[in-house]
């Protein structure tokens, strides 16, 4: 008779086989390492699961997942972290952990993986400790199952970078008032260490692979009326995922190897942010407010599409209302190509910023997780500091 522990192990394996298809309502089971398609950012999840391709405003290192070109807008050092329990309603020890560092300077930005709560670097789907049995149901040893992706990325804001080295040429200065172009590249080093729940069954054990992604992002500012304090920015972005359609190489218990395809496809999106009442106009009366905020009120909206392999497209759309650049409310929904609603997302965030020198963010979201759990909770935090600005502040 199979004991309860073993039943739980088999249930977890079956659950994630189902999860790869039901979460996004199409057959992603043609790919391995589906966890690399899970959005790491609580902010962008609130705009419809796969959204965030054109979002340049929130600047949490976890946001780079959706488009490496966004690194062209990062300044100074920043650290982003999340530790989320999945399938909490089912009482399973499964966690989605992410941790990344960014550094930005004069339009150049880099992303490096940092140590997460699973003691791995980058993003990890941690399935917890399980037990390995032989073909007769005898316990052999304990085993930690996980899949992890360590992403390294580089981005450049072309006009800002050129403008700096041309000593702020007037032509580039004028161009940057109305438009900007950023490009990005990321490399994902992916490892899989899954449980062979029967040790001599030739079940897949370990695998490694590389995925290369490129991104581009353009921003235009058709409206910027300083006196009345109204500004409108519009962005469009694209991220081509796994451009070479590379595979994972798995090793079997008997020494054989097998290749399985990693997810490939593209993410595209458009976004806009309309801001009202520039705080500079109130600086004389409220000097402290000017140090922590730029605008009294802003409205952000996004519309994103993700398509992987031959699967139907997924659309995510959402809106955010922000007061004083500090308190944000976010709402979104996700549907597939055929109009079937996958679910609603909602969340909120707090952003504390002092003179763009130091910053702290907290973001929370609830989003659908397939039929097994209708509402999954996620939260993340980030810290940022611009050391160069900080030094200049004390000069």
Q: What is the pLDDT of residues 210-261, one digit of tens each?
A: 999 999 999 999 988 866 689 999 999 999 999 999 999 988 766 778 899 9
pLDDT over 80 at 182, yes or no: yes
**Tokens of residue 33, six digits:** 């390492």
pLDDT at residue 281 in the model = 66
Neighbours of 1 (CB within 10 A): 4
pLDDT at residue 14 in the model = 47
For the domain bounded by 4-393, which CATH number is listed?
A: 2.40.160.40
Give 366 or 134, the one with higher predicted confidence: 366
Q: What is the pLDDT of residues 110-126, one digit of tens each?
A: 999 999 999 999 999 99
Give 330 or 314, the one with higher predicted confidence: 330
Give the distance between the most distant pair of CA atoms in the chain: 79
The per-residue DSSP string of 97-120 comes to EEEEEEEEETTEEEEEE-B-TTSS
For residues 99-103, average pLDDT: 97
| Highest mean pLDDT: which range of 24-33, 203-212, 241-250, 309-318 | 241-250
| Highest mean pLDDT: which range of 130-134, 148-152, 192-196, 339-343 | 148-152
Q: How far apart are CA 1 and CA 262, in angstroms?
A: 37
Contact 82, 100 (CB under 8 A): no
pLDDT at residue 283 in the model = 60
pLDDT over 70 at 367, yes or no: yes
Share of the chain above pLDDT 90, in %: 53
pLDDT over 60 at 3, yes or no: no
Q: What is the DSSP pairing of strand 257-261 with strand 230-241? A: unpaired
The per-residue DSSP string of 148-181 comes to EEEEEEEEEEHHHHHHHHTTS-HHHHHHHHHEEE
As a dihedral over the C-alpha atoms of residue 107, residue 110, residue 116, residue 118, rounded to 10 degrees, the angle is 140
pLDDT at residue 142 in the model = 72
Q: What is the pLDDT of residues 62-98, one digit of tens each?
A: 999 999 999 999 999 999 999 999 877 766 788 999 9
Element (H, E) at 18: helix 4-22
């Amino acid at each position: 008779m199979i004991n309860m522990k073993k039943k739980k192990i088999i249930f977890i394996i079956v659950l994630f086989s189902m999860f790869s298809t039901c979460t996004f309502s199409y057959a992603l089971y043609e790919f391995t390492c589906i966890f690399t398609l899970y959005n790491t950012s609580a902010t962008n999840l609130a705009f419809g699961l796969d959204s965030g391709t054109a979002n340049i405003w929130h600047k949490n290192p976890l946001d780079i997942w959706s488009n490496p070109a966004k690194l062209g807008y990062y300044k100074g050092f920043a650290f982003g972290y999340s530790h989320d329990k999945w399938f909490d309603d089912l009482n399973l020890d499964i966690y989605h952990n992410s941790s990344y560092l960014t550094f930005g300077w004069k339009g150049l930005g880099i992303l490096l993986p940092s140590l997460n709560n699973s003691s791995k670097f980058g993003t990890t789907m941690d399935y917890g400790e399980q037990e390995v049995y032989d073909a007769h149901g005898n316990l052999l040893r304990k085993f930690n199952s996980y899949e992890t992706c360590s992403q390294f990325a580089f981005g450049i804001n072309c006009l800002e970078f050129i403008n700096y080295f041309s000593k702020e040429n007037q032509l580039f200065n004028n161009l940057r008032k109305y438009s900007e172009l950023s490009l990005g590249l990321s490399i994902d080093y992916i490892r899989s260490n899954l449980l062979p729940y029967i040790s001599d069954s030739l079940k897949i054990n370990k695998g490694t692979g590389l995925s290369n992604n490129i991104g581009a992002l353009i921003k235009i500012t058709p409206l910027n009326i300083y006196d009345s304090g109204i500004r409108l920015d519009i962005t469009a972005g694209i991220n081509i995922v796994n451009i070479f359609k590379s595979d994972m190489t798995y090793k079997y218990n008997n020494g054989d190897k097998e290749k399985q395809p990693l997810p490939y496809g593209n993410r595209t999106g458009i976004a806009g942010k309309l801001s009202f009442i520039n705080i500079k106009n109130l600086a004389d009366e409220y000097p402290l407010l000017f140090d922590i905020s730029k605008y009294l009120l802003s409205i952000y909206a996004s519309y994103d599409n993700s398509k992987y392999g031959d699967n139907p497209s997924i659309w995510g759309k959402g809106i955010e209302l922000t007061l004083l650049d500090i308190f944000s409310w976010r709402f979104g929904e996700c549907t597939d190509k055929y109009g079937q609603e996958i679910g609603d997302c909602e969340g909120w965030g707090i952003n504390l910023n002092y003179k763009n020198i130091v910053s702290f963010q907290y973001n929370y979201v609830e989003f659908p997780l397939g039929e097994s759990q209708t509402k999954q909770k996620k939260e993340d935090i980030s810290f940022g500091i611009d050391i160069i600005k900080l030094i200049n502040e004390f000069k």
